[in-house]
Structures are given as structure tokens and as C-alpha cells.
């Protein structure tokens, strides 16, 4: 592994999507931030520290950065994006706003939802769908990382039904991306609302979120699929450790 392969057509379509999203960014980015922070009243502990840490990571190195997070609710991607940067910063540094791979069934089933996710740097994927389609999505994400964009992936592949990081649910896709992108760094993000006790679609209105960040450069001596799986497992173990720290701090 090591080279990112994507057809010229695939690259052109991503560049077009990014530019349309960027042009309309001054409209939709503040709207998303407004929905998260005002309409739903979701708040973040140590927001400035989190944003400064992410800014520092982005400016400290030009190496590709893949964001990997635990997954509890359907709006985790938006919450993480808002936690990592403010609207003004994202409009000026559009590459720092992460791409996402939402489930097509949930987020891109109608023409207007398709248009919205297109605008919002999303590449919908059918969960458990055709392997070639999933492979194509992974290649797209890998290419985006290699040209300086960031992407957010949930290594568990879906929302945790137990509300705890499920290391048994590891998917190999994350490891595959890391292996495909030379010098790829991983930013592990652990996000949890104070009232998130059960499996829910949305966090409780007005909930306060704790966000912790940890950099990781996973390495493996394994080969093939086992190497991808090993890297994915390292990332999930890191998220599990961050989760344990979160609960230890609250004892």
C-alpha cells in the first residue's frame, strides 16, 4: 500500500463538490453552527482549548490527518465539527472542515437530503452494501486526505448500542485508509454528552459535551487485511482508553 489511486473522473467530482461546498460555506456553515449551539442548545466543555488543539495539529504539520471518533448519536459528525472549529475559521480554512461518510439510508434518501449532504462535504455510503462501492468511498477519502483535506470516520462502523466504545465492532476500512495514505496521522476524538446514558438518535437538548483529543500514528508489522485490521484495532483501543479516562474522571 502507499499510493492513493482514484480515477481522474473521481478526483474531478470531488474537487467540484468541495468548491460548491466552499462557495456556499458562508451560508450553510453558520446555519449548522446555529442549529447545534442555539436551536438545540448543545454546549461544549473547554471549547476554546479543543479548538486551539485542533488548529495547532492542522498547522503543525502538512501530513494528512484522519479524524477517528466514537459514535453515539446521529449528529456526532456535526457536533465534532463544531467542537473542532468555529464557522469563521472553517470558512477561511475549508480543508479543515472534515469530510464525512454518512449512511445513505439515513442521510441521503431524498433529493433534498442528497443535495444537503453533497454541500456539506459528505460521501454517502450504503452500510453493508456492495463491497466495490465501499472500496470506492474509501479510495475517495484516502485521496482527499492526500491533498490536504481532513475526514471523519467512525471506526466502529455504526453507533454503539451499549453507549460504550465497542472494540469488538472494529471495521477494517479505517486501517485501510491509514495504510493507503503515506504519513497519515490519526486524531482520535472522544465525544460524550453528560446525559448520554442510553442509545438515542439525538443527544438531549441542551446537553453539555466533553471532547478529548489524542494524536496517534499507528504502525503495524502485519500484512494485507490483517494490517488494516490491526491499525483499526489500535485506534479503537485508543478511543476506549480515552473513554475509560472520561469515566475515571467522573468517579
Partner 1 sequence: MTEDDALERVVKILTPHVRNEEALANVSAETNILDDLKVNSARLVDVVLAFEDEFDIEIPDEDVDSVNTVGDCVKLIVGKAN
* Binding segment (CB under 8 A) for partner 1, from list 20-28, 35-43, 116-124, 129-137: 129-137
Cβ atoms 150, 66 nearer than 8 A: yes
Tell me the closest approach of the beta carbon of residue 148 to partner 1, in angstroms: 23
* Binding segment (CB under 8 A) for partner 1, from list 48-56, 70-78, 167-175, 238-246: 167-175
By beta-carbon proximity to partner 1, the closer residue of 58 and 179 is: 179
Start-to-end C-alpha separation, the chain: 44
CA dihedral angle for residue 200, residue 206, residue 210, residue 215, rounded to 10 degrees? 80
Tell me the closest approach of the beta carbon of residue 24 to partner 1, in angstroms: 33
Site map 141..160 versus partner 1, x via CB under 8 A: ----------------x---
Number of H helices, E strands in the chain: 10, 5
* Interface with partner 1, residue 222, by CB under 8 A: no
- Non-local CB neighbours of 151 within 8 Å, separated by 6+ positions: 66, 67, 98, 99, 100, 101, 141, 144, 145, 177
Judged by CB under 8 A, which of 40, 172, 190, 209 binds partner 1?
172
By beta-carbon proximity to partner 1, the closer residue of 116 and 169 is: 169
Dihedral sign of CA atoms 27, 25, 85, 234 in order? positive
Residue count, binding to partner 1 (CB under 8 A): 21
- Distance between CA 1 and CA 38 in Å, rounded? 44
* Binding segment (CB under 8 A) for partner 1, from list 22-30, 59-67, 126-134, 213-221: 126-134
Q: DSSP characters for 8-38?
A: HHHHHHHHHHHHHHHHTHHHHHHHHHHIIII
Judged by CB under 8 A, which of 111, 224, 248, 251 binds partner 1?
224
Tell me the closest approach of the beta carbon of residue 161 to partner 1, in angstroms: 13
Contact residues toward partner 1 (CB under 8 A) are 1, 127-132, 134-135, 157, 169, 171-172, 176, 179, 223-226, 228-229
Amino acid at each position: 500500500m502507499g499510493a492513493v489511486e482514484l480515477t481522474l473522473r473521481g478526483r474531478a467530482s470531488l474537487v467540484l463538490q468541495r468548491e460548491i461546498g466552499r462557495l456556499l460555506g458562508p451560508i450553510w456553515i453558520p446555519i449548522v453552527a446555529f442549529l447545534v449551539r442555539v436551536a438545540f442548545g448543545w454546549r461544549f466543555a473547554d471549547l476554546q482549548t479543543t479548538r486551539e488543539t485542533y488548529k495547532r495539529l492542522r498547522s503543525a504539520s502538512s501530513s494528512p490527518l484522519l479524524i477517528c471518533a466514537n459514535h453515539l448519536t446521529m449528529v456526532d459528525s456535526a457536533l465534532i465539527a463544531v467542537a473542532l472549529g468555529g464557522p469563521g475559521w472553517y470558512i477561511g480554512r475549508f480543508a479543515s472542515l472534515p469530510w464525512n461518510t454518512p449512511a445513505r439510508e439515513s442521510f441521503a434518501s431524498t433529493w433534498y437530503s442528497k443535495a444537503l449532504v453533497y454541500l456539506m462535504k459528505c460521501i454517502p455510503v450504503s452500510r453493508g452494501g456492495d463491497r466495490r462501492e465501499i472500496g470506492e468511498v474509501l479510495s475517495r477519502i484516502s485521496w482527499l486526505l492526500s491533498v490536504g483535506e481532513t475526514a471523519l470516520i467512525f471506526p466502529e462502523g455504526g453507533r454503539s448500542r451499549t453507549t460504550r466504545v465497542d472494540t469488538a465492532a472494529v471495521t477494517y476500512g479505517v486501517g485501510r485508509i491509514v495504510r493507503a495514505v503515506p504519513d497519515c496521522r490519526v486524531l482520535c476524538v472522544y465525544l460524550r454528552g453528560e446525559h448520554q446514558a442510553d442509545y438515542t438518535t439525538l443527544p438531549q437538548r441542551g446537553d453539555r459535551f466533553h471532547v478529548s483529543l489524542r494524536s496517534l500514528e499507528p504502525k503495524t508489522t502485519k500484512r494485507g487485511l490483517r494490517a488494516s485490521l490491526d491499525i483499526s484495532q489500535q485506534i479503537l483501543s485508543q478511543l476506549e482508553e480515552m473513554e475509560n479516562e472520561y469515566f475515571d474522571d467522573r468517579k
